[in-house]
Chains A and B, each alone.
Chain A
Amino acid sequence: MKNLFYYRDKYVRSQPSAFCPGCGGGIILNCFLRAIDDLGLDQDKILAVSGIGCTAWIPSPNFNGDTLHTTHGRAIAFATGAKAFNPELTTVVFTGDGDGAGIGGNHLIHAARRNIDLKVILVNNMSYAMTGGQIAPTTMHGETTVTSPYGNPEFPFDITQLVRAAGASYVAKWSTYHVIELTNAIKEALQHKGFSFIEILSQCPTQQRRIFNLRGPLDTLPPRILDMFMESTYNRNRETKGGYLYAVPKTDVKKVLEQARGLGEAKIDDHMGYGQVVRVDNPDTETLRSKLESFNEVSYVADHMEKKIELGLFEKYDRPELTESLQEIIRRARSEQ
């Protein structure tokens, strides 16, 4: 087991971090560095490309290899040129949800269509965080942001499904809670030949406080958001256990907790789909449901799978990769001369 200093000294340029306290960016950098180290990749042959936004700062200037920090939304297009001309470069794009799915959405789907061998790590914090927390194409319906004070009137993209439909040959989705799974996914993507896409739900204590209406001291937020990611997601490649329900409060979650005590193990949880809820664990969910529904403080009783976000490996298959096709064109053109 290598310690953190090993990764820092070998792969990180020494300078102060630009991230807010509790940002998910550091976790993702950590997973990425462990992945390239485990695979024994030469850091001098890795090109990290990024655009504009907090995510762009994950590799630039931190990663001690070649970095190309570009304009807003265009990282994939820049990376396409570098990779197409020099296929020897392991080219990894770090992009945010605004950068990659908003302003840069067109480049994202076209790169997936081409199946060019880029590894795209899309960090989704569900807002334009660097510019102050505006609604992004990933912000959920109804959420409050600085540009949706009455709630977001729009619906978000499911970026993973979008990129999958566009033709990406490796697609996975994880969160900053799932560091082992994420590190393994990055390793799989690095070894896959073709357009590889990993969406990562990431915490932003600075902006998600407003989006998810999280009250409480600032330093409690990062672990709370990580717990929320755990609570609100499930691994599609594994069977879910169940045996619990969520009671969504009408107004006061604490009153629901009082009423629910005695029905099983009850606690207050943050849930991405419902806000603050009371989770009650009891294998007899039928009885539990009828009792919770009878409480006057409960507005809705949700099944353990309702509004949960699907994570895991979505796609992994082989089809002709662009840089190989381009080299084949060169061979054909030369032989016809």
Chain B
Amino acid sequence: MLKPGRHLALGNIACAEGAIRAGCRFFAGYPITPASEISHHISGELPKVGGIFMQMEDEIASIASIIGASWAGAKSMTATSGPGYDLMMENVGYAHMTETPLVLVNVQRSGPSTGQSTDPSQQDIYQAKYGSHGDYEVIAITPWSVQEMFDLTVRAFNLAETYRTPVMLMSDGLIAHIKEKLIVPEKVEIVNRKKPTSMDCTPWGTDDPSGVPEMPAFGEGHRLLVTGSTHRPDGVRNFAPEYHQKIVYRIRDKILNAEPKIRDIHTEHIDDAKIAVLSFGASARPSIEAVEQARKQGIKAGLYRLKTIWPFPEDPVRELADQVDTIIVVEMNVGKLVKEVERVVCGKANVVSLGKVGGQLPYAHEVLDIIRRNNQ
């Protein structure tokens, strides 16, 4: 493992380092570019701290095994890219229904299908939210730097453990494959899942206002009934409408009610801004450059960067719409998050989409051009 201090590190390696420090002790993966370096690094480092690395036969087995390991008591993670992410979706739904904490890293690449493997993209953000069938609410976080690949991987584990839910770390081929400064702290803050306080605990129901039940592990004598079928708080399968409604709303509300705590927004020059550039992940990098240039030209532009895209921070974005005239949404896809912004802003501000596909970041001058055109 990297020693605390300053390093020049690859994004994917920062992710693996963050995972181990957050307490990850089980990793399963299947080779795929541009996510592979996470496996390379963690396969060497995990055994040193007593953890298990497994290379599985496919991505379906990867996520299945980390769910199994999570119920055996491990903080667990897998990492993949678009095609593997597709294959994982059924078991993502299973993890939501069984409320299994895990971290799923998607190093996004340009699709559909094999597309421009393995150039970066941000095309999978709705898949993160809606990829599996049925209703559930996901947490998805978006790092924009090597440092955040470390910091937000730690946060991903803490959120997964706090809310007993899968967390999507939506990286991309660019952040994964750049080398830049990484400061490894002496110590990171770690959160662990709520363990049962008694043998009669109900692992899928709670009176706690957080909506997050206690989580026993296999082999502790709780005789667990872990099932993806609709179940009662004690795990017994029951398809009655009231049980289904109860569990679906609780696994949704435990995330939505915690949105103010989950939200993570980074702003620059936003206090007096009239034009906000709303972006996330790698495409926020040219966005900040464009904002700085616009400021030099006397344009009141600001950066509004989401480090957590799901659950969507509705209230803060609505407040932003009250303040600014225009919100420019910059992203590496045909224009996806912009739809969520439009829904939330609801006409209170002018919403402009700058989506770019082709495996390239939007250029700063392209963003600046749109800022200037919207500056009357």
Q: Which A residues are closer than 8 A to B by beta carbons?
A: 13, 15, 43-45, 47, 49, 60-61, 64-71, 74, 77-86, 88-89, 106-107, 110, 326, 329-330, 332-334, 337
Contact B64 A70 (CB under 8 A): yes
A141 to chain B, nearest CB (A): 29
Contact B69 A81 (CB under 8 A): yes
Docked-complex contact A88 and B219, CB < 8 angstroms: yes
Q: Do A85 and B25 have beta carbons less than 8 Å apart?
A: yes
For A69, give the chain B residue with the smallest CB separation: B227
Given A106-B57, A110-B57, A81 and B229 contact (CB-CB distance below 8 Å) = no
Q: Which of B28, B90, B217 contacts A81 (CB 8 A)?
A: B28
Residues of A contacting B228 with CB < 8 Å? 69-71
Give Cα A88–Cα B64 distance, bound, in whole angstroms.
19
Could you tell me if A66 and B65 are in contact, using CB atoms closer than 8 angstroms? no
Q: How far is the CA of A65 from the CA of B226 in the complex (A)?
A: 11
Residues of A within 8 A of B219 (CB): 44-45, 47, 66, 86, 88-89
Cα A80 to Cα B74 with chains together (Å): 13
Give the CA-CA distance A332 to B225 in the complex, in Å. Answer: 36
Docked-complex contact B57 and A85, CB < 8 angstroms: no
Distance of A66 Cα from B68 Cα, bound (Å)? 12
CB-CB under 8 A from B237, the residues of chain A are 60-61, 69
Query: Measured between alpha carbons, how far is A82 from B220 in the docked complex, in Å?
Result: 13
Chain B residues within an 8 Å CB radius of A83: 68, 72
- Whether the pair A89, B218 counts as a contact (CB closer than 8 A) is yes
B91 at the A interface (CB under 8 A): yes
**B344 within 8 A of partner (CB):** no
**B47 within 8 Å of A by Cβ?**
yes
Q: Which residues, 228 to 271 on B, are CB-close (under 8 Å) to A?
A: 228-229, 235-237
Closest CB-CB distance, B65 to chain A, in whole Å? 3
Determine whether B223 belongs to the interface, using a CB cutoff of 8 Å to chain A. Answer: yes
Provide the bound-state CA to CA distance between A275 and B314, in Å.
67
Give the shortest distance, in Å, between A336 (CB) and chain B (any CB).
Answer: 8
Question: Which among B68, B69, B72 has the highest number of chain A CB atoms within 10 Å?
Answer: B68
Report how far A79 CA is from B71 CA in the complex, Å: 10
A103 CB, min distance to chain B CBs, angstroms: 10
B47–A330 touching, CB < 8 Å: yes
Inter-subunit contact A81/B60 (CB<8 Å) = no
Are the CB atoms of B54 and A69 closer together than 8 Å? no
B221 closest partner in A (C-beta): A44
What would 11 A/B residue contacts be, using CB atoms closer than 8 Å? A45-B219, A49-B68, A66-B223, A68-B68, A69-B225, A81-B72, A82-B218, A85-B76, A86-B73, A107-B64, A334-B50
Asked whether, in the complex, the Cβ of A44 is within 8 Å of the Cβ of B54, the reply is no
Are A74 and B61 closer than 8 Å at their CB atoms?
yes
**Given A78-B64, A326-B52, are A85 and B223 neighbors across the interface (CB < 8 Å)?**
no
Q: Is the CB of B226 within 8 A of A82?
A: no
Interface pair A80/B58, CB less than 8 Å apart? no
Q: Which of A65, A69, A326 has the most CB of B within 10 A?
A: A69
Q: Are B57 and A107 in contact (CB under 8 A)?
A: yes
- Could you say which residues of chain A place their CB within 8 Å of the CB of B68? 49, 68, 77-83, 85
B183 at interface, CB cutoff 8 A? no
A110 to B56 Cα, complex, angstroms: 9
Q: How far is the CA of A138 from the CA of B58 in the complex (A)?
A: 24
Across the interface, do A74 and B60 meet the contact criterion of CB distance under 8 Å? yes
Given contacts A85-B69, A107-B61, A110-B61, 10 further A-B contacts (CB under 8 A): A47-B218, A61-B235, A65-B223, A66-B219, A70-B64, A70-B228, A77-B61, A77-B65, A85-B25, A337-B48
In the bound complex, do residue A71 and residue B90 qualify as a contact, i.e. CB atoms below 8 Å apart? yes
Q: List the A side residues contacting B217 at CB < 8 Å.
A: 86
**Are A61's CB and B73's CB within 8 A?**
no
Q: A60-B227, A69-B229 are in contact. Are A84 and B65 (CB under 8 A)?
A: yes
Instruction: Knowing A47-B218, A68-B71, A81-B68 are in contact, say whether A332-B47 is a contact too (CB < 8 A).
Output: yes
Indicate the member of B44, B57, B229 with the most A CB atoms within 10 Å.
Answer: B57
Asked if B26 CB lies within 8 Å of chain A CBs, one says yes
For residue B222, CB closer than 8 A to chain A, the reply is yes
Return chain A residues, CB-CB under 8 Å to B138. Answer: none
- Given contacts A68-B71, A69-B226, A70-B228, are A81 and B76 in contact (CB under 8 A)? yes
Interface: B363 (CB within 8 A): no
Residues of A contacting B90 in the complex (Cβ-Cβ under 8 angstroms): 71
Chain B residues whose C-beta falls within 8 Å of the C-beta of A74 in the assembled complex: 60-61, 64, 91
Residue in B70, B73, B226 whose beta carbon sits within 8 Å of that of A67 in the complex: B226
Least distance between A49 CB and chain B CB atoms (Å) = 7
CA distance in complex: A80, B71 (Å): 12
User: How far, in angstroms, from A88 to B219 measured CA to CA in the complex?
Assistant: 8
**In the bound complex, CA of A256 to CA of B141 (Å):** 74
Q: Which of B26, B58, B226, B236 is close to A68, meaning CB atoms less than 8 Å apart?
A: B226
Q: How far is the CB of A253 from chain B (nearest CB, A)?
A: 44
A332 CA / B48 CA spacing, docked (Å)? 8
Q: Does B317 make an interface contact (CB < 8 A)?
A: no
In the docked arrangement, what's the CA distance between A68 and B94, Å?
A: 11
B17 to chain A, nearest CB (A): 16
Judge whether A81 and B65 touch: CB under 8 Å: yes
Q: What is the chain A residue whose CB lies nearest that of B68?
A: A81
B93, chain A: closest CB distance, angstroms: 8
Say yes or no: is B66 at the interface (Cβ < 8 Å to chain A).
yes
Which residues of the other chain, A, contact B222 by a CB distance below 8 angstroms? 66
Indicate whether B35 reaches chain A with its CB closer than 8 angstroms.
no
- Indicate whether B32 reaches chain A with its CB closer than 8 angstroms: no
Known: A81-B76, A84-B54. A61 touches B225 (CB 8 A): yes
Q: Is B191 an interface residue (CB 8 A)?
A: no
From B69, B220, B226, give the contact of A84 (CB < 8 A). Answer: B69
| A67: nearest chain-B partner, CB-CB | B225
Closest to A80 in B: B65
Contact assessment for B72 and A89 in the assembled complex, using a CB-CB cutoff below 8 Å: yes
Q: Cβ of B57 and Cβ of A44 under 8 Å apart? A: no
**Chain B min CB distance to A232 (Å):** 34
Which residue from chain B places its CB closest to the CB of A49 in the assembled complex? B68
Chain B residue contacts of A326, Cβ below 8 A: 52, 54
Q: Are B48 and A333 in contact (CB under 8 A)?
A: yes
Known: A78-B68, A81-B66. A71 touches B91 (CB 8 A): yes
A residues within 8 A CB of B47?
A: 329-330, 332-334
List residues of chain A with CB within 8 A of the CB of B236: 13, 15, 61
In the complex the two chains form, is B60's CB within 8 Å of A77's CB? yes
Min CB distance, A75 to chain B, in Å?
8
* Chain B residue at minimal CB-CB distance from A59: B225
**Which residues does chain B contribute within 8 Å of A84, judged by CB atoms?**
26, 52, 54, 65, 69
